[in-house]
Structure 1
Amino acid sequence: MPTSSRRPWVTTLLRGRVVTPTGLIPDGVVAVDGGRIRWVGEALGARAAGLGDLVEEAPVTDGYVLPGLVDLHCHGGGGASFPDARTAAEVQVAVDEHRRHGTTTVVASLVTASPEVLRSRVALLAHVAEAGEIGGIHLEGPFLSTVRCGAQDPGLILAPDPDLTSELLALGRGHLVTMTLAPELPGTQGTDGVAARLVRGGALPSWGHTDAGPEATRAALELSVELLRTGEVGQVSSPEDAEGGGVGPVRSARATATHLFNGMRPWHHREVGPIGELLAAARRGELVLELIGDGVHLDPAVVREVWELVGPRSLVLVTDAMAAAGMPDGSYRLGSQEVVVADGAARLAGAVPGALAGGTAHLLDVVRTTVAGGVDLLDAVTMAATVPAQVLGREDIGALAEGRRADVLVTDAALRPLRVLRAGTDVTAVGSPWGRRA
C-alpha cells in the first residue's frame, strides 16, 4: 500500500461494536494517536476522516470496544492486598491484575486499621498515585459502625477524629478520593466534623457501614450537598489543593454511598434504616451509589431494580475486590482479618455464614453479570467507567471520545477481555514497572 494513504498519527486502530457516550456504533472505529484517542466513529466515515485503507486492514472483533473501566472500591487482587502492602511493587501486583482485565484506573481501598498503619499505607499509596499507577485512595474506616462493620475489625474502629482525618489528607497529598463514614457517629457531621474536613481537603464523604436511621442519614446527605455546593468542581491535583481552611477544588459535586445494601441496616418497612434515604438522594441527583454487582454481594435483580429506580448517572459498579481476585480458593488476609475463599466467595475465617469479606471479581465480570441481569450494556458501561471517572473529577478517562486518554478495552461477544490499552500502551499482559525503576 502506498504510504501516502496512511496518516502518520495513527498508532493503533480498533474496530468492532464501539460503545460511546452517545450510543453503540455497530461497526465502529477507535483511532489512537500515541496516548490519546484521536478519532471515534463509524467505519464508513473513517476514510473521510483521513484513515484511508487502514480501516480495511484493522482486525475486526465480533465483540465490543469499550472505554477502560474505573473501579472506585478495590482492596487488591492477584494475591496482593492494598491494606497489607508495604512496597510499591506489592501494590502494583494488584493493580496489574485488574488492569489486564480491563480496569485501567483503580482506586486503592484501605480498611480499618490503627492510626499508625493508616498513616504508613496512605503515604505509600500517595507515592504510587503520584507515579500514575492508581487513581487515588479510598479509606474504608476507621470511623464506622461496630454494629454494621462487616469485614472491618471492630477492635480497631475509632470514634470520628477530624484531626486524624486532616493528617491523613496531608499524607495523601491530594490523592485521597473518598472516606467511608457512618453518619450516626458524633463527629462525622457539623461545620468542623470529619465530612467537612474531607471536603475542605478535596475528598468526598462516602456514607456507609452504618446502622443509622432516616433522620441521621438525611442530615448527612443534606450536609454533603451544602458542603460540596460551595466548592469548585475539579480534580484535586496538588498537596496545596488538599490543605487549608477554606473549600478548594472538590472532585465531584456529589458524595457517594459505600456499597449500597452491604454493611448497612436492611431496608425494612417498619425498622427504617438508611437505604430509602440514600436511594431518594440518588434519584434527586445528589448522591452516587456504589453497587457490588458481582452476583454474590447483590442479586443481579437488585442491581437492575436500583438502575430502574435512579438511573445510570447516579450509580457506579464496583468490585470491593480483595487479594483473591484472579486467584484460586484458599486463605487470604484483609488487613487484620483472616479470610477464606470458597467457590469464589470471600468470608471471614470462622465467621457465621453470610459474613462477606470483599469480592473476588474483576470489574468486567461485574459488568457482564449486570448485563446478564437485565441492565442495558451502554448503561452498565456508564456505571463502570463514565460515572466513576466523574467522581474522581477526571475528564480524560471514562469514555471513548476524541482527546481522552487512550484507555480502551476490547472484549469478545461474551464480554470477556481480549485486549487492553492504557494511555495507548497494550497492557493485556502487564508486569510491574517498579522492578525496572531505580
Structure 2
Amino acid sequence: MSITLADARLVTPGGVHPGWLTIEDGRITYVGQGQAPTGNGHGLGGRLVVPGFIDIHNHGGAGASFPQGDPEGAARAAAFHAGHGTTTTVASLVSGSLEDLGAATSALADLCEDGLLAGIHFEGPYISAARCGAHDPGVLRTPDRGEFAALVKAGRGHVRMLTIAPELPGALDVVRDAVAAGVTAALGHSDATYEQTQAGIEAGGTVATHLYNAMPSLHHRSPGPIAALLQDERVTVELINDGVHVHPAMLRLAFKAAGAGRTALITDAMAATGIGDGEYVLGSMRVRVSDGAARLVEGGTIAGSTLTMDVAFRRAVQLAGLSLVEAAQVASLTPARVLGIDDRAGSIEAGKDADLVVLSDDLQVEAVMKRGAWIAEPPAP
C-alpha cells in the first residue's frame, strides 16, 4: 500500500522544504519538493514533519520502569513515549544484582525481538561509588569481563550500550570487550581524571553518558572528563534538556563544542514521566517527583527525569537556539548513528523507515507515524 503525505514542510538534512513524500511497505520511497501530484496525497496543511525521535537513554514512563523487567509495563512505557514522537526507544537499566539485571535483560530482549524496543542499555553496575547518582551504591561492582559477557548473552544480541566508569580496575578491558561484542561503550557516572577519560576513549568509549551529570565539573587546572569528552571527535555526548539537569548556557556550550553531529538529546526518563508528582521507585531506590523534578527521597540527588523527547526537541529550538535541522539531527540522526541504524532511521530520506513526527508551528506533536503506520493520526488540514 502506498501513502503520500502532501502539503508539508519537511525537515531534512539539507534544510526545511515545502514538499511531499511517498511511503510504501513502511519505508519512504520518494521525497519531493513543491506540489504533490494532483489528486494524490494526505494533506498536512503546511505542518512541519521531522524524523521520529530516537531516545538512547530511557528508564521508563507511564508508571512503568524498564529496570523492573515487566514486559507489560515496558510495552506501556514504550507506547507512551511513542505518543510523544519517540519511534525508537532503548530501554535503560540501572545498577542491580547480576541476577536482577539478567532477568530484566532477558525479559526486555523479548520486546526487542517484537520490535517494541530498539535495544537494552546497562547503566551500571560498573560505575563510580563517588558519582553513582541515584544508583544503589550497595550493588556497584568492579568491572568483570565474565560477568559482562553473561549479561550480553542474556540480551540475545539486543544489548546496545554499557555505561562504565573508565577509572575503575578492569574497566578498560570491559570497554574493549563491549566494542568487540558490538556494544557501544559509554563513559559516565565517573570520577575519572582527564587522562583516565582519554584512556577510556582510546579503549573504545564513544559516548558520554548524560554529559555534565554524575561526573566532576570543568576546572581550568583539572579539566576532568567533560573536557576530554567534548574535545574528542570520536565521542557523542548525551544531553538531558529538561531545564533541571543542565543550565541552558551549558547546553549551548556543549552544542558549540560538539556540534549537532556529536550531540544526542536523551530523556533519562523514569516511571513518573506522564504520570505526575508523587513517590516512585527507580531500581531499588525511592524517588519523589515534585514539580516534575525527580529526586531521591533520601538525600535529594537527581534521579532521572520526567522529560519526553518532544519537549527536549522544542527546548533545543526555543531556548538553546538550534535550527530545526540541527534539532532534528540531535534528536534523531545522531542517536541513530550511535545505534548503528542511520542507514534506515534518523532522517527523512528515500529508503529509510517512515518514522515521522508531524508538528505544529509551535512544535507541539500533532501526529506520529512508525514504519508507515499512524500511531496518532494528523488532524484535518
TM surpasses 0.5: yes
- 1:171 aligned residue (154, 158, 167): 154
Q: CA deviation at 1:350?
A: 2.9
User: Unaligned stretches of 5+ in structure 2?
Assistant: none
Alignment of 1:353-364 (within 5 A): 355-364=301-310
Partner SS state of residue 202, structure 1: coil
In 2, Cα distance between equivalents of 1:213 and 1:81:
33
TM-score (norm 2): 0.95
- 2:367 aligned residue (384, 407, 419): 419
| Partner in structure 2 of residue 410 of structure 1 | 358
Q: CA deviation at 1:423?
A: 0.8
- 1:181 aligned residue (164, 167, 178): 164
In 1, Cα distance between equivalents of 2:48 and 2:75:
27
Q: Does 1:113 align with 2:96?
A: yes
In 1, Cα distance between equivalents of 2:251 and 2:47:
24
- 2:246 aligned residue (298, 312, 324): 298
In 2, Cα distance between equivalents of 1:122 and 1:101:
25
| Partner in structure 2 of residue 54 of structure 1 | 40
Partner SS state of residue 306, structure 1: helix
Report the structure number with the largest CA radius of gyration. Answer: 1
Moved more, 395-404 or 136-145: 395-404
* RMSD between aligned residues: 1.4
Q: Does 1:70 align with 2:54?
A: yes
Letter in 1 for 2:294: A
Q: CA deviation at 1:16?
A: 1.8
Q: Does 1:130 align with 2:113?
A: yes
Q: Number of residues paired by the alignment? A: 375
In 2, Cα distance between equivalents of 1:264 and 1:213:
10
- 1:153 aligned residue (136, 139, 142): 136
Q: Does 1:388 align with 2:339?
A: no
In 2, Cα distance between equivalents of 1:272 and 1:280:
11
Gap change, CA 1:120 and 1:14, over 3 Å in 2: farther
Q: Following TM superposition, where does structure 1 have runs of at least 4 consecutive aligned residues deviating by more than 2 angstroms?
A: 9-12, 58-63
Letter in 2 for 1:213: T
Q: CA deviation at 1:270?
A: 3.1
In 1, Cα distance between equivalents of 2:259 and 2:226:
16
Partner SS state of residue 369, structure 1: helix
| Partner in structure 2 of residue 365 of structure 1 | 311
In 1, Cα distance between equivalents of 2:217 and 2:345:
35
TM-score (norm 1): 0.83
| Partner in structure 2 of residue 234 of structure 1 | none
| Partner in structure 2 of residue 29 of structure 1 | 20
Q: Does 1:259 align with 2:210?
A: yes
- 2:73 aligned residue (70, 87, 90): 90
Q: Does 1:20 align with 2:4?
A: no
Kept in 1, the 8 Å contact 2:236–2:263? The answer is: yes
| Partner in structure 1 of residue 183 of structure 2 | 203
Percent same amino acid among aligned pairs?
A: 41
In 2, Cα distance between equivalents of 1:417 and 1:140:
29
| Partner in structure 2 of residue 248 of structure 1 | none
Kept in 2, the 8 Å contact 1:346–1:359? The answer is: yes
- Larger % of strand: which? 2
Kept in 1, the 8 Å contact 2:7–2:46? The answer is: no
In 2, Cα distance between equivalents of 1:137 and 1:14:
36
In 2, Cα distance between equivalents of 1:168 and 1:216:
25
Letter in 1 for 2:39: D
Letter in 1 for 2:159: L
Kept in 1, the 8 Å contact 2:127–2:190? The answer is: yes
Letter in 1 for 2:133: G
Letter in 2 for 1:211: D
Output one character per residue of 1:46-90: Cα deviation in whole Å (capped at 9) or x when no partner.
33xxxx3224xx33344310111100000001110001133x211
| Partner in structure 1 of residue 225 of structure 2 | 274
In 1, Cα distance between equivalents of 2:184 and 2:215:
19
